[in-house]
Structure 1
Amino acid sequence: METFAGRTARLVVSNDGEVPLDLMLEPWGDVHRILPKEKCVVVTHSSSRDGSWPGTQLGDEPFEVDHRSDSVTVWANGHCFHLSDRKGNEIDPYVYGGCPAQNQAT
């Protein structure tokens, strides 16, 4: 198996509120509900040899975040994303976008 030669970025999203918070993950349109006092980690990978992020115009921004009162939208600018808890355990076993580093960098 070829070693993953790209980059991995992680973004912790927390719900410090009293009601569930919808986490929208773009550009895939996936929604995950974060319960009160819960945290999850959005993980994205770029397989570019130069380490750039394909979803951003600037090339060096793995995420863009937009927050509203009942939801947060995270644009994961890599080739894929998956969710985990703070210990690295996958929250949803389905990986979006065919991650090049699915079993190598979580």
Structure 2
Amino acid sequence: MPLELTVEPWADAYQILPGQTCVVVTHSAAEDGSWSGTLREDEPFQVDHRRDSVTVWANGTCFHLGDMAGEAIDAADWECPALGRGPQQ
């Protein structure tokens, strides 16, 4: 069965197929690299795992998804202002 991945606080949902690995990368705009919002101080993520789903709280300004080789899983997620990239205006 696929595993549902939800990335919060954006409520973006993805399906991870059996045997597939998904890497969530979050970016902070804070120059000191600090993170807020997790249960433990200064952690970039909080992960809640259940039998058929996982929720990742990516406590940054944006995130992107990739595989273990760094290839984009969802190309739209690579449009991250923290990386100096964004939608064309």
TM-score bucket (shorter structure)? 0.7 to 0.9
Aligned-residue CA RMSD (Å): 2.1
- The residue aligned with 1:62 is 44
Q: TM-score, normalised to structure 1's length?
A: 0.71
The runs of 5 or more residues in structure 1 that have no matched partner are: 1-18
Larger CA deviation: 50-59 vs 25-34 = 50-59
Which whole-Å CA distance do the structure 2 matches of 1:69 and 1:102 have between them?
37
4+ residue segments displaced more than 4 Å: none
1:26-46 CA-to-partner distances (Å, cap 9, x unmatched) read 000000100001101001011
Q: Which has the higher helix share?
A: 2
Q: Does 1:74 align with 2:61?
A: no
- Aligned-partner Cα distance in 2 for 1:96–1:29: 17
User: Displacement, 1:53?
Assistant: 1.4
- Figure out how many residues of one structure are paired with residues of the other and give that number: 85
Q: How many percent identity over aligned positions?
A: 56
Name the amino acid aligned to 1:67: H
User: Structure 1: which amino acid aligns with 2:76?
Assistant: Y
